[in-house]
Amino acid sequence: MTMDASGDRKASEDIGQLPYPAVDSSVPNKSPFQRIRLLLLLIGTVLLFSSSARRSSIDFFPGRPWPISFSGLGSPSSALDTFFHTSTRTDELCPSVANASSYSGWIGLEGDSDETPKRSFYWLFEAEEDPENAPVILTIGGGPGTSGLINPFGGQSHCKINENGTVANPYRWTEKYNLLALDHPIGVGLSYGTMVNNSVDAAHDVYDFLQKIYKVHPHLASNKFVIASGSYGGRYVPTIATVIQEENQAIAMGEGKLHATHIDLEALLVSNPWTDPLAYHRWLLYYRCELHPFYNATTCAELYGTLPACLESIELSFQNSTAHNRRLAEETCASFRRYGQNGTLMENINRRCETRDDIGKCYPSFNWMPNFLNSNATRKVLGVPDFVEYKSLNDDVTKEFMTYGDNMFPTQKLYEPLVSDGIRVLHHAGSLDANCPNPGTFSFLKLLHTPFSEAFRTGEDVPWPSAEEPQGTVRVAGSGAGNFTYLTYDNAGHFIVSDQTWQTKYVVEHFIDNIPFV
């Protein structure tokens, strides 16, 4: 695989690795066997170009071709019937909850080998009620580089982290749903091996992982499927969903990968997202300077003066999307990343920490997680290799994605075909988050073109769960809990599950089961 000087991969990266027999052109009169070999080569070429064409629908990634995969042709590194996998019963690491089972392990992804591993770590928490038929929630971290294991142990699974290990969680999502936590992408958490540097390649890794996890846990393969994440998950989630939808369509047309299973993608749950960098920066100072005084007057005046150049650089990166232009936009807008005054925590403006590096003082679970997962007892149960150390955030992954400029794409556009295809989407946001403030999210949602656009733009923000005891507001387009829904939490910041445990359980259950919030 080669890269040009700008950091973008060349379109011809896989052409030299076609797994087809060579044709001997020096023999003028070819035998029947040679003619068969030539026919196989031609068929392979047709499959190559049809696969490339099928993967080109995300057309606002100029300069970034879709990676070409040959797993459907029986490539040994990606065959769904022969891959590295482990599965370990992990109930002893969580306090006893009736009918609660959990499993963890690694799945070898396409290209994995003992010499050059590429292995995703997962932790499956089965539903207490009817796990064979309960929806599966794939939960991943943000970052880029944040471990997905923070989510289950932060309040989603039946055990919750504390300073001494884990305790039973009364507000667990796993009463009704299977929770599949994934350290995504490779290099994050306990996943290890060959890393990728962008969300598109990472999304294909997730699809590969899902196809293989269904071989390891086949009783989940036909269940409804939901993807949940937050923060940089606003980039991950719609990208993963798009890959799943395209592969589902390929399967329906008889063009899917060999032995691939249709994934019943039902809904997307995204909290306080990074999705549209233009809307994010356009509304950022409104939140930090006008709505909530996160910055002082001097800082606000300085940043307002640099805002036009920031927005212009993002527009340029959209119009001419090269790694150079995307990095330039990131550098031009870097001043907006500065921390607030007086120790105000960017992730929750009601909390105080001396510096952003002290976030563990405001959210101690960030320190408890590595202590728990790197303990000898936990590593022994999980079977963690000696060379793998758990980190809540892997800076190397962050650096790779930022060097590529992965954060400078108009990812919100992916929602338009997804919603049109019937995928239900919930954006829920803590109102106290100055990191990914909700005004920018609400802005890009109103500008999307979907079958529910008019209903969403003209809808009302209704207190939930009741006007008498409001926890926030919700705007619903569609029946029940909505097909396109935006909900806020009055007393939550960036980490909504940690800040509002029973409230998020209420929201998740109502949305997945399509029950009105009010």
Closest C-alpha among 159, 166, 107, 153 to residue 128? 159
Asked if residues 251 and 71 have their Cβ atoms less than 8 Å apart, the reply is: no
Domain assignment present for 225 = no
- Say if residue 409's pLDDT is above 90: yes
Asked if residues 436 and 231 have their Cβ atoms less than 8 Å apart, the reply is: yes
**Average per-residue pLDDT for the chain:** 85
**Per-residue pLDDT tens over the stretch 307-352:** 999 999 999 999 999 999 999 999 999 988 777 667 788 899 998 8
Domain assignment present for 47 = yes
- Say if residue 17's pLDDT is above 50: no
| pLDDT at residue 81, as a whole number | 67
Domain assignment present for 58 = yes
Domain assignment present for 52 = yes
Give the whole-angstrom CA distance, residue 262 versus residue 248: 5
CA geometry: angle 158, 162, 164, nearest 5 deg: 115
Domain assignment present for 69 = yes
- Say if residue 245's pLDDT is above 70: yes
Q: Where are the alpha helices (H) located in 291-362, listed in sequence order?
A: 297-319, 323-332, 359-362
Domain assignment present for 230 = no
70 band by pLDDT with thresholds 50, 70 and 90: very low
Domain assignment present for 38 = yes
| pLDDT at residue 61, as a whole number | 36
Domain assignment present for 21 = yes
Interval 473-501 mean pLDDT: 97
368 band by pLDDT with thresholds 50, 70 and 90: very high
Q: Report CA 287 to chain centroid distance, whole Å.
A: 25
| pLDDT at residue 494, as a whole number | 96
Closest C-alpha among 188, 174, 218, 165 to residue 106? 188
**Per-residue pLDDT tens over the stretch 424-448:** 999 999 999 999 999 999 999 999 9
Percent of the chain with pLDDT over 70: 83
Domain that holds residue 62: 15-73
- For the record, the structure tokens of 97 come out as 């909850």
- Say if residue 40's pLDDT is above 60: no
Interval 373-393 mean pLDDT: 95
- Say if residue 475's pLDDT is above 90: yes
**Per-residue pLDDT tens over the stretch 166-224:** 999 999 999 999 999 999 999 999 999 999 999 999 999 999 999 999 999 999 999 99
| pLDDT at residue 341, as a whole number | 65
356 band by pLDDT with thresholds 50, 70 and 90: low
| pLDDT at residue 45, as a whole number | 41
The string of DSSP codes covering 423-462 is -EEEEEEETT-SSS-HHHHHHHHHH--STTHHHHHT---E
In total, how many domains does the chain have? 1
33 band by pLDDT with thresholds 50, 70 and 90: very low
